[in-house]
């Protein structure tokens, strides 16, 4: 009770502090570079509205520019330089905390192509070596598009080749890979699962490796995110099924700005600004959230009778240093998921009603990033992050709470450090670096024999060198080539030495097209639970999960639209089969994922129209004991996503918009339940001789978002309604044997979920 009262007191005083300062005009600044990352002196930078110039400037001898103006709701920042394609950056002021300082703008030496990049809040990441093969995610998109819950991973579910693993969580299957093969990176280094309620939507109600109900990092904290599906440069390691690269945005360096958001799932408050009125003093950014689904449950939404809540507090301090910036950041999150059995026996309608379940998950991240230029040719970037997870689950008998049915502990800490030194060369850039990741874990499961894992402590240590070369050897040919040399010790016997070369060759075709051919080797550490199970089964010789990935893509990029078609093929070796009912054995198999996908994006910033359309045909298979290729759990065969939106912006500062999204997925695969064996065992027993031989029905969902915004001189207010599963479609989730009912029960995913929010920015 004391802690609960204290957190509301802190929130109250924080709100009072937020109302003491005001906004000013918008300042946009950054650096303009060529393809070899050389500073471009004298590049023209102008702010425009409907082709009418508002304000302009030119870059200095370091390529740096700064322009300030009172901006309209939408405008364009146009950068021009002789011999290079113009860059039109669409600036939207629908978020008053828009941070467009320290933009890193890279010009491309082509004669006719004009490339438009949408900019929300945040800054450009000039460490992106494969810009055509990465899916950028702006925070403006995260806020406006339907059913994102302000989480970039949920927005990624609208991309080609990406399937939602479960409505209750942000876990995703990329091109048929298990969600366990997906990894999160912050400021370029790997972090542990950065999500609240990591058990959300899982069959066993135990924590997942890389997913949860919502990201512990609020969208308010993030700049532009990068989503890699399969082909990513050597600067990233330890992932075979996709990467979400996030970066903390800097607080505003000119004015103090604040935000208050109240909705059906809780409260969020934020503040940012300079430490003092000095451009060299640095800036701060704070954010606090408290959320509960209690109001949604009262509206009739079914969360399995569980009380769910979470809260988090985060900060980012940024300090200018000579030719660079130093960031110190952190976040702490607490989440709980509690189920209390009905008091009366007559109210207990299923097996779960005879148990009390208490799940808690704590998450912490603290880190530092130092980014600076050395002379005129070198760039040094050093990042070190300590992340930690502490999840526990306790299940007791409702009739006698002193009798423990199961107890699970998953604790991990990870220290990740990476240092890279980039050098501009005549026709491109060359980056070399070193990385080290050390994870300490403590895992245990107590209960019936099928879920027993002894209390085990261990470590996974991984380190190595990487090198990445970007070379433009002509106006049409471009090469990205790299290698990752690593060594890992995971307690499975001998250390695993890793050699991972990667290459991407691209050729420009005409003025707007480009073809890419890419191939590379990748690897990923095993999870602590898999390591323990392998040791128990005496398979100590098994090392990393390894993958060979290939793709051929053709991209057309115009000023208002882009179209991409890509074919992909992936082989996986020493892969743990995703059999979610198994704890004491791990099936190690070979797998393959292959298919073709096509995506089309159309944006007209002047008229406010947005359209996304993509489709994927694929197969995800593993080699069974008979030497035949069979479907994995995530072999849905096809994915279709469509999004259509329109925004109306008026001269009086009022605007409103509507976006609608449609997802259609082929059903995931299931293993049949052996009813006779389940009756005898008193719990769910699957017939593993028929792994994934049954397919669920197709998954489909319609999501809708509406907003109305009023921009005044010093205050902006926004009211929005975000509805997930507008038609209340009953999509299948999983089936299990209920010993209390004596029958097989099927659970569906979430039904209609409305999120009403009121947002005040000042």
DSSP 527: P
* Segment 233-256 mean pLDDT: 91
Residue labelled with tokens 């950041």: 329
pLDDT at 538: 62
For residue 636, tell me if it sits in a domain: yes
pLDDT at 9: 30
Phi-psi category of residue 550: left, alpha or beta, with phi > 0 → left and psi -120 to 50 → alpha? beta
Looking at the chain, the whole-number percentage of residues with pLDDT higher than 70 is 86
Q: How would you classify the pairing of strands 453-471 and 428-446?
A: antiparallel
For residue 694, tell me if it sits in a domain: yes
Instruction: Reply yes or no on whether the pLDDT at 129 is more than 80.
Output: no
* Segment 20-37 mean pLDDT: 64
Global pTM reads 0.84
pLDDT digits (tens, 9 = 90+) for 195-216: 999 988 888 888 888 999 999 9
Gap between the Cα atoms of 751 and 730, Å rounded: 6
Gap between the Cα atoms of 226 and 245, Å rounded: 5
pLDDT at 238: 95
For residue 40, tell me if it sits in a domain: no
Tokens of 77: 């920042």
pLDDT digits (tens, 9 = 90+) for 465-474: 999 999 988 8
Higher pLDDT among residues 704 and 54, named by residue = 704
Instruction: Reply yes or no on whether the pLDDT at 12 is more than 50.
Output: no
Gap between the Cα atoms of 64 and 251, Å rounded: 20
pLDDT digits (tens, 9 = 90+) for 373-409: 888 788 899 999 999 999 999 999 988 888 888 898 9
Q: Specify the range with the lowest mean pLDDT, choosing from 151-160, 483-492, 531-540, 546-555.
A: 531-540
pLDDT at 281: 79
Catalogue the long-range contacts made by 59-65 (C-beta closer than 8 Å, 24 or more residues apart).
59/31, 59/32, 62/31, 63/31, 63/32, 63/33, 63/38, 63/39, 64/29, 64/30, 64/31, 64/39, 65/29, 65/30, 65/31, 65/32
Give phi and psi for 151, each to the nearest 5. Answer: -125, 120
Residues in a beta bridge with 49: 52
Please state, in angstroms and as integers, the Cα–Cα distance from residue 315 to each residue in 214, 283, 414, following that order: 18, 11, 20
pLDDT at 99: 54
- Which H or E run contains 698? none
Tokens of 268: 């969020």
For residue 74, tell me if it sits in a domain: no
Tokens of 15: 């709100």
pLDDT averaged over the chain? Answer: 84
pLDDT digits (tens, 9 = 90+) for 496-505: 999 999 999 9
Instruction: Reply yes or no on whether the pLDDT at 85 is more than 80.
Output: no
pLDDT at 708: 94
For residue 80, tell me if it sits in a domain: no
Longest dimension (CA), the chain: 80
HSE value, Cβ hemisphere, 13 Å, CA-based, for 508: 17
* Segment 633-656 mean pLDDT: 92
pLDDT at 299: 63
For residue 272, tell me if it sits in a domain: yes
Q: How would you classify the pairing of strands 716-724 and 753-761?
A: antiparallel
Tokens of 639: 């994915």
For residue 104, tell me if it sits in a domain: no
pLDDT at 177: 95
Q: Specify the range with the lowest mean pLDDT, choosing from 150-159, 273-282, 445-454.
A: 445-454
Give counts: helices (H), strands (E), the chain. 6, 44
Gap between the Cα atoms of 240 and 360, Å rounded: 29
HSE value, Cβ hemisphere, 13 Å, CA-based, for 361: 29
Please state, in angstroms and as integers, the Cα–Cα distance from residue 533 to each residue in 445, 456, 478, 524, 539, following that order: 12, 11, 45, 17, 9
* CATH number, domain containing residue 422: 2.40.170.20
pLDDT at 323: 79
Gap between the Cα atoms of 4 and 58, Å rounded: 53
Cα 352 from chain centroid (whole Å): 32
pLDDT at 21: 34
Gap between the Cα atoms of 692 and 469, Å rounded: 42
* Segment 504-532 mean pLDDT: 91
pLDDT band (50, 70, 90) for residue 47: confident
3-state secondary structure 607-670: CCEEEEEEEEEEEEEEECCCCCEEECCCCCCEEEEEEEEEEEECCCCEEEEEEEEEEEECCCEE
Gap between the Cα atoms of 700 and 261, Å rounded: 30
Instruction: Reply yes or no on whether the pLDDT at 52 is more than 60.
Output: yes
pLDDT at 15: 37
pLDDT band (50, 70, 90) for residue 10: very low
pLDDT at 100: 64
Instruction: Reply yes or no on whether the pLDDT at 437 is more than 80.
Output: yes
pLDDT at 351: 86
Instruction: Reply yes or no on whether the pLDDT at 335 is more than 90.
Output: yes
Instruction: Reply yes or no on whether the pLDDT at 318 is more than 60.
Output: yes
Domain that residue 509 falls in: 152-761
pLDDT at 448: 61
pLDDT at 540: 58
pLDDT at 80: 81
pLDDT at 23: 39
pLDDT at 127: 44
Total domains in the fold of the chain: 1
pLDDT at 537: 67
HSE value, Cβ hemisphere, 13 Å, CA-based, for 188: 24
Instruction: Reply yes or no on whether the pLDDT at 709 is more than 80.
Output: yes
pLDDT band (50, 70, 90) for residue 713: confident
Residues in a beta bridge with 456: 443
Higher pLDDT among residues 585 and 534, named by residue = 534
Q: Specify the range with the lowest mean pLDDT, choosing from 46-55, 149-158, 279-288, 343-352.
A: 46-55
Please state, in angstroms and as integers, the Cα–Cα distance from residue 153 to each residue in 147, 289, 388, following that order: 11, 19, 20
Q: Specify the range with the lowest mean pLDDT, choosing from 118-122, 384-388, 554-558, 640-644.
A: 118-122
358 and 394 in contact (C-beta within 8 Å)?
Answer: yes
Instruction: Reply yes or no on whether the pLDDT at 150 is more than 90.
Output: no
For residue 120, tell me if it sits in a domain: no
Higher pLDDT among residues 324 and 487, named by residue = 487
């Amino acid at each position: 009770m004391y802690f609960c009262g204290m957190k509301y007191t802190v929130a109250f005083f924080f709100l009072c502090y937020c109302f003491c300062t005001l906004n000013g005009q918008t300042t946009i600044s950054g650096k303009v570079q060529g393809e070899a990352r050389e500073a471009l002196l004298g590049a023209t930078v102008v702010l425009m509205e409907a082709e009418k110039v508002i304000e302009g400037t030119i870059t200095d001898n370091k390529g740096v520019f700064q322009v300030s103006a009172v901006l309209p709701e939408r405008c364009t920042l146009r950068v021009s330089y002789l011999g290079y394609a113009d860059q039109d950056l669409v600036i939207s002021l629908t978020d008053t905390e828009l941070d467009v300082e320290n933009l890193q703008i890279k010009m491309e030496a082509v004669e006719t192509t004009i490339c438009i990049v949408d900019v929300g809040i945040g800054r450009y990441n000039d460490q992106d070596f494969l810009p055509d093969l990465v899916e950028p995610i702006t925070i403006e998109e995260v806020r406006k598009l339907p059913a994102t819950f302000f989480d970039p991973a949920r927005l990624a579910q609208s991309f080609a080749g990406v399937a939602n693993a479960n409505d209750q969580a942000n876990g995703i299957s990329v091109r048929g890979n298990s969600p366990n093969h997906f990894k999160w990176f912050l400021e370029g280094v790997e972090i542990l699962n950065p999500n609240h309620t990591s058990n959300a939507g899982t069959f066993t109600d135990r924590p997942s490796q890389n997913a949860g109900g919502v990201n512990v990092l609020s969208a308010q904290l993030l700049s532009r995110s990068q989503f890699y599906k399969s082909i990513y440069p050597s600067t990233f390691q330890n992932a075979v099924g996709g990467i979400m690269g996030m970066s903390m945005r800097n607080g505003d360096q000119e004015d103090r700005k604040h935000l208050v958001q109240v909705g059906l799932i809780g409260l969020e408050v934020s503040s940012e600004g300079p430490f003092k009125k000095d451009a060299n003093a640095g800036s701060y950014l704070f954010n606090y959230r408290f959320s509960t689904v209690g109001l949604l449950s009262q509206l009739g939404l079914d969360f399995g009778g569980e009380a769910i809540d979470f809260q988090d507090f985060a900060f980012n301090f940024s300090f200018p240093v000579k030719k660079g910036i130093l960031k110190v950041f952190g976040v702490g999150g607490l989440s709980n998921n509690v189920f209390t059995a009905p008091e009366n026996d007559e109210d207990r309608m299923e097996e779960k009603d005879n148990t009390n379940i208490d799940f808690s998950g704590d998450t912490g991240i603290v880190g530092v990033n130092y980014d600076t230029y050395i002379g005129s040719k070198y760039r040094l970037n050093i990042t070190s992050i300590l992340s930690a997870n502490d999840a526990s689950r306790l299940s007791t008998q409702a009739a006698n709470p002193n009798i423990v049915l199961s107890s699970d502990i998953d604790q991990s800490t990870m220290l990740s450090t990476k240092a890279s030194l980039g050098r501009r060369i005549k026709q491109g850039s060359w980056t070399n670096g070193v990385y080290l990741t050390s994870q300490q874990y403590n895992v245990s499961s107590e209960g019936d024999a099928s879920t027993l894992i002894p209390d085990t402590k261990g470590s996974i240590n991984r380190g190595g060198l990487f090198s990445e070369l970007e070379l433009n050897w002509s106006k049409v040919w471009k090469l990205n080539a790299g290698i990752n040399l690593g060594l890992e010790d995971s307690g499975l016997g001998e250390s695993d030495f890793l050699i991972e070369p990667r290459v991407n060759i691209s050729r420009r075709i005409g003025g707007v097209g480009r073809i890419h051919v890419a191939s590379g080797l990748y690897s990923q550490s095993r999870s602590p639970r898999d390591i323990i199970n392998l040791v128990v089964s005496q398979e100590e010789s098994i090392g990393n999960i390894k993958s060979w990935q290939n793709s051929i893509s053709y991209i057309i990029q115009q000023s208002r639209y882009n179209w991409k078609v890509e074919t992909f093929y992936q082989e996986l070796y020493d892969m743990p089969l995703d059999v979610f009912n198994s704890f004491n054995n791990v099936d190690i198999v070979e797998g393959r994922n292959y298919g073709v996908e096509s995506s089309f994006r159309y944006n007209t910033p002047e008229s406010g129209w947005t359209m996304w359309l993509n489709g994927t045909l694929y197969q995800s298979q593993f080699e069974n004991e008979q030497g035949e290729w069979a479907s994995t759990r995530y072999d849905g065969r096809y994915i279709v996503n469509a999004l259509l939106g329109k925004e109306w912006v008026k001269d009086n500062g009022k605007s409103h918009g509507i976006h609608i999204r449609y997802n259609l997925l082929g059903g995931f695969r299931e293993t049949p339940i052996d009813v006779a064996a389940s009756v005898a065992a008193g719990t769910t027993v699957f017939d593993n001789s028929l792994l994934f031989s049954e397919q669920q029905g197709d998954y489909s969902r319609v999501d809708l978002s509406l907003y109305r915004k009023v921009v005044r001189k010093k205050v902006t207010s926004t009211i929005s309604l975000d509805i997930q599963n507008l038609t209340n479609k009953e999509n299948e989730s999983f089936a299990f044997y209920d010993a209390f009912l004596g029958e097989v029960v099927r659970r569906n995913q979430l039904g209609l979920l409305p999120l009403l929010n009121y947002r005040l920015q000042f």
